[in-house]
Structure 1
Amino acid sequence: MLVFLAAIAGKFCVAQELAYDAIYNFITKEYTLSKDGNVDYHYSSSLKLLTHQAFQRYFGESFIVYNPEFQKLKINKSRTIMADGKKVDSPHNAFNEVLPGFASGSVAYNHLREMVVSHTGLEVGATIEFDYNLMSQAKGMPYLMGEEILSFPVPVESCKIIVKVPEGTILNYKMLNLRLSPEITTAKGMMIYTWNFGKVEANPHEIYMPEASSYFPFLTFSTSPSLQRSLELFTNQPAFTDTRLPQTAVARIEQIKRSNSSDSKKIIQIRNLVINELSYLQIPSATIAFKFRTPAEVWESLSGTEIEKTILLAALLRQAGYQADIVASVPTHVLDTKWFNPLDINAYYVRTEIPEIASIYLSAIYEHPYNLLPNLYGNTLLLVDPAAESEKKWEIYPENSTIKVKGSFDIKSFSVEGKAELEATGRYHPFYRILENDKEINRILTGLCSGENVTAFKLKQSNLKRLQTEISMKADKSLTQLAQGFYEMEIPFARTGVNSWNVASLPSSRISPFAIPYFLIEDYDYTLLIPDSLELVTPKKNLEIRRDFGAMRIQLSKDGNTVKIRRMIEFVENEVNPLKYAELREIFIEWMDPQNRKLIFKKK
């Protein structure tokens, strides 16, 4: 009996392994802060390959990005232990330095390097042993910082994070999504903090997963001083203090200022100038020691990192006479106001004022058509200003994105005429695009209420918060023939929102919470008058699903030649527990079902 149970257990373990392409025997990451401020990062791992795909697609090479100006890389071990126990060290030509892809096309950052390590002797059952040190000189932010997200593509049998600081140095840290305190010891004048995570499951690889810091074990740590002092150190560099612009930049701004455009349009023109005419370099700030170039240098190089383009955008707006503040976004649950880790910053924005209208937030890398506030929920914004005498921060609270459409349509033979009242906010309101071209209103809805079918619109209100308009439409070919005597017509709905989430088909089960992209309400109320020559074939429907995270209603009724349609969907929570995933999936499937989005007619 014991032998039988052991055999079953052995087969179960093998089955568990084969569910993945590989498995880490261990991963150890060690940070050491020396008394002179230098930081040594030591990485060590052992990876067992379980499939051919593991080394042909995923783990055949290792990549290490570093900056030779203040970092030195030392590879201690790159060895493969083959299935038969033979040890194969990577040869000299397996180590190749290249320019990181994110620095391509940039003269300012063409000194950055990426070490590509090609592992040799790979086969199913082989184990890759990899070990290196990355030593960083004290440059940039004068303290140790680190951020570790316990998310791996394959399981890890043993994971450990170690941080060593000189005795007397305070290490600030925060652990999220896991109740684990470090083991603290002392040795050779160093305080040693050890987080032993043990076994870590593989990332579930599911769509619409929560932010990493909200779901996976997340460790952030730093020896930084207070938040205020950290921001002072962060902005104590020419990038923030030398805001002079080249004459060519000043000339472009003067050209925009002389135009007859409104302030809103001028601000968006300046934003689009930075986004479209300067390349975006996705270089991590830590790789360049949090040292950024001045607005003049960024302008003349025609490229910049996110923070560099943000600083330039602020400088250009000020040159045009507008107030402009640089802000950094940090997840509220990550931020600790007693200390600061710049690695926790997830985005930068410019806050500016449209005179006599509203305060707005602009991205310097993404041409967003709508008010950004619904996107920023869950974050705290920090003012990044070298002249600030104290820390200034504010939390962003949730805002609904809504679209409400009420329309009446008259079907005449195969054409449709009618009017619709439309109200939109948040992600449904393309405020900035409408500023540039009010015909963007024609693209908010699909089908018979879009494009050339819109014969006229009456703009009642369009500001940052809300759009209200009346659409008149006429579609000559709105009914599509399906078969002899049968026709279909698509019900108009928003192009954005749930329709753009690609949730028509979803897996039947889920491990992680489902992250709803944003709070929303979609409400469509249509009345159709059909001619005597057509008969509605689509059956009546009255479906309503209400859950604590949201609701959906689909109604279709007929009274003589009048057809009434009501479609409503709402989400009031930003995450849905996996235990309620089946209920969420049901809502999505019903909402996206083509049979619920079209009307079928039969010619009498």
Structure 2
Amino acid sequence: MMNKINKSTLLICLLLMATSAFAASEAEYKKLAKTYTLNADGSQEYRCNMELTLFTHTAMNGTYGESFIVYNPEYQELKIHSSYTKQKDGNIIKTPDNAFVEVLPHSAADAPAYNHLKEMVVVHTGLELGATIYLDYSILTKPGYLPALDIYDEPLQSSPVKEYTYTIVLPESVQLSYTLQNYKAKPATQVSNGTKTMKWTLQNLPAASRNPFVSAMNGDIPFFTATTFVSEKEALNALYKQFNPQNDPQLEGIAESICENKNKDTEKLEAILDYVINNLDNSQLSLAETGFRLRPVDDVINTAYGTAAEKINILSGLLNAAGIQAEPAALYRVNAEKGCGLNAISELFVIAQADGKEYLLTPTSKRMATAGSLGNIVPSFKLANGERLTFDAPDTDINYKVDITLTPEKAENQITSQTGNAQRPYFSEDKASGSSSQSLKVKNGYVLVNLPDAPVSLANSSFCRMNSTRKENLRMPCKANEQYTYTVHIPEGMELRTPAVNKTISNAAGQVIYSIEKDGNTAKITRSLQLSKQLYTPAEYKDLRTLLTEWGSTDNKILLLSIL
């Protein structure tokens, strides 16, 4: 009896140790302080000061072994105030000179015009379990390079933070708009000698979630925005004034060449979008990395690559040159009451009108821009005048009708489909028909037949294979509405062994239906999914996951038949 008790006690201890090990963080920020200073002459300083204690070998050898600082040496100067490691016994290891390595930022690798950018890699030395990394540096920016003091930041890091501070220093006369959302903290404000200092202190922040599809767009992740732009209109206009004006002779010439022998506006629009997608390579540089600047159109065309903003400029310009109404617009990352400038932009896109239809275009794909599929969860604005945009909900329907003819050797599928514009590229038909076949392999007198579905079906996505619990909001790609009807013709010598079923799961998140009906040598299978909305809270997640798990089950997409 005592032996059993000892074994039970040992098992409990091991389980507790395992639980503690999995719950423990790799590291912890004792301090993370970011200070933004705007001087009266327009120059700026960004200062970052961090203290990070390491708890695991992964943190020491991988996650936090290096720090990366990107800057533009033509307009900015990097100053390292201090960099060292304090080991567990108190020993100080200063970062040696050869541990500061300057490289080209990865995003600028295929963009020669931006090869002057630098990335300082700070290799932290003297690391061990329990050691604390100290790094304090500033990026000094010359007047005129940045259009305003403009901040967007998400404070949750990959490890917990004991104290996270934002400090903004600027002339007393300069107005600052800001939003700190999903965390309650008010700024401490001081005014001295014409300078205003505002400081926000956030304490005991948890580590950022590692769950998939977590985003500030979903409305529940803390974020901080601050800007000296008076409004979104002023911020977006700072970008728009760099766009090419209409009646640009170079773009008119290119548009005329691209649209030769194209009569309808839709044909011209597709040809111009093809040109921008396929003839201009995509640079991964962000707006912030380029200083919110665009190269001239002729430079972009001659070098055959461009940033997203540069390609949007050309796409909008070519469309207007071809006589198609087109306006550049911006989608924001978050829905903030105020304080969104240029750093808060998630995506630039073009709104175009052709033959009575509206198109939301990106320069990298023929699919609808993200703004169209978000259901106005976050705001979009025109660059030219700051007008807020609203979009009708896109058609998310998928309707498949499949006629399956079986032989012991193969299954022949005749497919008729109708797909909404949210699920397919522009210029493709909403209705389509086609055929496919599947070779069948007999094993122990049985064969398995797969029921085809749409490649974009949620059943083929990772949304159907997620954890049982979730603490964050979940935004689905769309408000799904999928319908599949299969008619299976079973020849003599084969018999359907999958049992008849009529299953309906209905809850607050939506509904899933799965049914099999047998009628002689014919079987009819129905599968459908309907979601009630696009954005779900943690309280609603259980119902949603119940539907998605059922919808993604391969058991509902396979038929078992016997060979007699």
Is TM (by shorter chain) over 0.5? yes
Tell whether the 8 Å contact from 1:213 to 1:334 is kept in structure 2 after alignment.
no
> Residue deviations 1:410-452, cap 9 Å, x none?
44555556755422103333443x3xxxxxxxxxxxxxxxxxx
Change (3 A) 1:340 1:473: closer
Question: 2:519: which partner in 1?
Answer: 559
SS at match of 2:239: helix
The aligned counterpart of 2:104 is 99
Aligned to 1:4: none
Give the C-alpha shift of residue 259 in structure 1. Answer: 3.5
Following TM superposition, by how much is the alpha carbon of 1:408 offset from its aligned partner in structure 2, in angstroms? 4.2
Residues in 1 aligned to 2:341 and 2:472: alpha-carbon distance in whole angstroms: 27
Instruction: Give the 3-state SS of the residue equivalent to 2:35 in structure 1.
Output: strand
2:58 equivalent to 1:53: yes
What SS does the corresponding residue of 2:219 show, helix, strand or coil? Answer: helix
Q: Distance in 2 between matches of 1:280 and 1:324?
A: 21
Indicate conservation of the 8 Å contact 1:380/1:393, yes or no: yes
Q: Distance in 1 between matches of 2:517 and 2:328?
A: 53
Aligned twin of 2:351 = 351
Note closer, same or farther for the CA distance 1:500–1:341 as it changes in structure 2 (3 Å cut): same
Match of 1:342 in 2: 342
Contact 1:155–1:201 (Cα < 8 Å) also in 2 = yes
Letter in 2 for 1:198: Q
1:148 to 132, 153, 158: 153
CA contact (8 A) 1:322 1:352 kept: yes
Aligned residues: 549
Matched-pair contact (CA < 8 Å) for 1:140–1:291: no
Equivalent of 1:405 in 397, 400, 408: 400
Distance 2:517 2:248 in 1: 65
C-alpha distance in 2, partners of 1:563/1:170?
Answer: 70
Q: 1:482 to 1:150 in 2, by over 3 A?
A: farther
Q: Which whole-Å CA distance do the structure 1 matches of 2:63 and 2:362 have between them? A: 34
1:294-309 counterparts in 2 under 5 A?
294-309=296-311
Helix, strand or coil: the match of 1:349?
Answer: strand
Aligned partner of 1:443 in structure 2 is none
Tell me which residue corresponds to 2:468. 508
1:378 touches 1:395 (CA, 8 Å); kept in 2? Answer: no
Preserved contact between residue 400 and residue 521 of structure 1 (Cα < 8 Å): no
Gap change, CA 1:56 and 1:417, over 3 Å in 2: closer
* Residue number in structure 2 paired with 1:290: 292
**Corresponding residue of 2:431:** 468
1:393 corresponds to = 388
Within 5 Å, which residues of 2 pair with 1:77-476?
77-211=82-216, 214-237=219-242, 239-241=243-245, 244=248, 246=250, 253-259=255-261, 263-331=265-333, 333-334=335-336, 336=338, 340-354=340-354, 356-368=355-367, 373-375=372-374, 377-385=376-384, 390-411=385-406, 414=409, 420-432=415-427, 434=428, 462=429, 467-469=430-432, 471=433, 473=435, 475=437
| Matches of 1:366 and 1:472, distance apart in 2 | 24
CA distance in 2 between partners of 1:300 and 1:245 (Å): 16
List 4+ stretches of structure 1 deviating above 6 A: 369-372
Q: Percent identical across equivalent pairs?
A: 27
Query: Residue 548 of structure 1 aligns with which residue?
Result: 508
2:362–2:368: 8 Å Cα contact kept in structure 1?
Answer: no
Q: What's the CA shift string for 1:129-187, capped at 9, x where partnerless?
A: 01011111222454211112122101111111111222232211112222332222223
What's 1:528 paired with?
A: 488
Q: Distance in 2 between matches of 1:79 and 1:362?
A: 48
The separation in 2 between residues aligned to 1:17 and 1:542, in whole angstroms, is 42
Structure 2 gaps of 5+ residues are 1-12
* Aligned mates of 2:531, 2:521 — CA distance in 1: 34
CA contact (8 A) 1:30 1:161 kept: yes
Give the structure 2 partner of residue 444 of structure 1: none
Return the letter of the residue paired with 2:360.
Y
Q: Secondary structure at the match of 2:288?
A: helix
What is the letter of the counterpart of residue 256 of structure 1? Answer: I
1:370·1:428 contact (CA, 8 Å) conserved in 2?
Answer: no
CA-to-aligned-CA distance 1:101-132 (integer Å, 9 cap, x gap) = 11113232111111111111111111100101
CA-to-aligned-CA distance 1:231-285 (integer Å, 9 cap, x gap)? 4333334x43487465xx7665444322457543432232122222222222222
Q: Residue 558 of structure 1 aligns to which amino acid in structure 2?
A: K
Alpha-carbon displacement from aligned partner over 1:327-384 (angstroms, at most 9, x marks no partner): 1122562364xx6511111111122222x24121110123437997225642433222
Q: CA deviation at 1:583?
A: 3.0
TM-superposition CA deviations, 1:8-39 (whole Å, max 9, x none): 9xx99x94797221111111111122222222
Secondary structure of 1:288's counterpart equals: coil
